[in-house]
Amino acid sequence: MAKSFKGSGRAGECEDSRIYEGSGLYRNVIGEYHDGTIYKGTGVYKTAVGEYHDGTVYKGTGLYKTAIGEYESGRVYQGTGLYRSAVGSYDYEPAAAAALLLWDELT
């Protein structure tokens, strides 16, 4: 079953390790997610653009990543700690929260 995300004028779904722009019959694949990593593109043509784990979303991967937001209890936040603000919601799939925060890298 697809898990949705929305906020900041953006909306999509995550299902079967794929990230979609739009919903239902009107959606397009824009990326993939596997083991805490978000990828732009699919198959052999995908590029890692970010990571998510323990309630935090990171832009970049490995040693070259920066925390850009957090997810918690169905809410997505831009920024971290005391300096965060709610920007959207997600259906309790961490990849969906990460996709919302990494939207500019995915599209």
CA dihedral over 41, 18, 97, 27, signed as positive or negative: positive
Q: Residue 41, Cβ neighbours under 10 Å: how many?
A: 14
Average pLDDT on 8-15 reads 93
The model's pTM? 0.93
How large a percentage of the chain has pLDDT more than 90? 92
Q: Range of 51's domain? A: 3-106
SS3 100: helix
- Whether the pLDDT of residue 24 is over 90: the answer is no
- Domain count along the chain: 1
Return d(Cα 74, Cα 14) in angstroms, integer. 14
* pLDDT score of 1: 82
* pLDDT score of 17: 96
**Tokens in use for 103?**
């939207």
* pLDDT score of 8: 85
